[in-house]
Structure 1
Amino acid sequence: MKKIILFADTGIDDTIALIYALKNPEIDLIGVVSGYGNINREKTYRNVEYLLELADRTDIPVIAGSTRPLSGEDPVFFPEIHGIEGLGPIDPPIPEERYANRTNFSKLFKLIKENHNEVTIINVGRCTSLAMAHYLSPEVMEDVKETYIMGGAFLVPGNATEVAEANFFGDPIAANYVCKNVVNLTIVPLNVTREALLTPSDVNVIGDHSDSPLEEIIKPILDYYYEVYQQLEPGISGTPQHDLAALMAALDISGLYEYSKREVRVQHEGNFAYGESIADFRPGSSDCFGPKCPRIALRINQDVFVSNVLRILTNHR
């Protein structure tokens, strides 16, 4: 069983990743770091608490992450995609104000030290909280076994700008630091997460097998997400599960991904290419080596992805 700490900015696709983690018997979710991103930090924290209550897993600690990017600028949120509260049509009955003015990275560091060289970090939001953890206590973060991040776009267009993916665009300073300094790093970029689709018929199957309060929110939020994506990309066959795809990379599912290893940097100055992820894939280029050389997912097997997700989310283990 893999011990995972999930860093999230809990909108719709983060929520599906969190539900999958709670339901997968191969995952021991030992903590969630909740930061700004799709919505503000108070709402993301509230959403995690709400989901853990629905799952009857309030034993899992929630750590308050960052509230803004390392540049100090005000973050841009995306209520038109994830809904005002971040959960599409769901309005959690918990006031977000309860979670204002908190910071508890000491709880994160305690979890890592208690699970020396056993923790897998999966970061599916902005990289700010992860970069801050490495800034604040590099010696503790050396105890992390491996790190996975959802972010970047290699050899494909971005989704925040023509060239930049939203997580890297939201804090390219932090993304650049993580990509250049974090050891045993795997990057799961837009190239593959854009192809990690759940169709309406897939969602209907999941909905038909829902038998708990946590499972019953999956269909309404993914139905909402599908309507949003029909506006963003008319005719798309389903909704991309960006964050779930990154989480699943950590499980070493046979045949799910093909990888290459390249040095990566993220453009964090200027305007035109701000947030762009850069790696050398020119003909004749080759894999890099060493613990600071990131592994990049470049291809996904859609059939393997869907069959695994349906097995876990419909309770057929």
Structure 2
Amino acid sequence: MAGGTDTASFADLPDELVVQVFRHLNPAQLNSCSRVCRRWSRLFREPALWRQLYPTMWSRGLWNYTANYVGHIDQIPEEDFCLELLEPVTTTSEAECLSREQSWNKFYSGLKRSLFDHCKGYGVRVLELSANKYLDDGQLNVLISACPNIEELYASYTQISSGAFQVPNPGDCLKRLHKLALSGCVLITDRTVENLVACWGAGTGEPAGLRSLSLSGCALLTDASLEALSSCTALRAGLQFLDLSGCGFRSGRLLRTFVHGCARLGPENLFYCCNIVTGPYRATANGCNNLDNENRACCVQYQN
């Protein structure tokens, strides 16, 4: 009370209301707020503020990026891309490429230091990393380890490879994952899939509730990946969408064994190589999803 007039400031608001205000800010603005005082620095890491992470887009300065295009990278208008993954090499100078890579690595280090070095990202539900050709296996593994409650993970059109999903404590990762998109990841191998299965099958936590899996255009995958996927009972229980277009599978028998073990997976949500003539639901499945997509490997490269 001063001069008969009630006075109050933003500092008088309880933490819950401050967090509600912060939820209207983008990550760059939140970062600025975290430097104001110790209290705001603490609230900056409040899990409710970090339900969705879009590191790829944020590193490009697209701070207000939303989930409108998540999982549909092929359909993002060209003008929305600052770092087009599929851009012809001839249009980008070596110095510019280096600058972009340095920009991503600097942003990744800052994100890790700001959010995950002090606590885990238990609140993160969506992690969008698609179309980032500078993302490496180690960075991906750190992010999924730091965010154990991810429900949707998008890493399509990245350069992740055999070391992806190879984490120190696989039983603590990806247990709540519902959707995984790895379309166009041309470097992932059977080892990558085996690492994934190790995460889903390890430990004593709740089983994977994966509903959607896209490995479209992952041409290095072989029948060994099918065998690994078939070994995961928790995976087969909930799977409702599966895209294996352009993968190097050859065995119709193994594919049938896996697909028919997925009780909730119908032919309308199944895509695989047209050349596997003994595959499941041959008359009603959708066939290859890459026939008209020049950005992903197409099954016509393979012969059954």
TM over 0.5: no
Greater strand proportion:
1
Q: TM-score, normalised by structure 2?
A: 0.30
Structure number, greater radius of gyration: 2
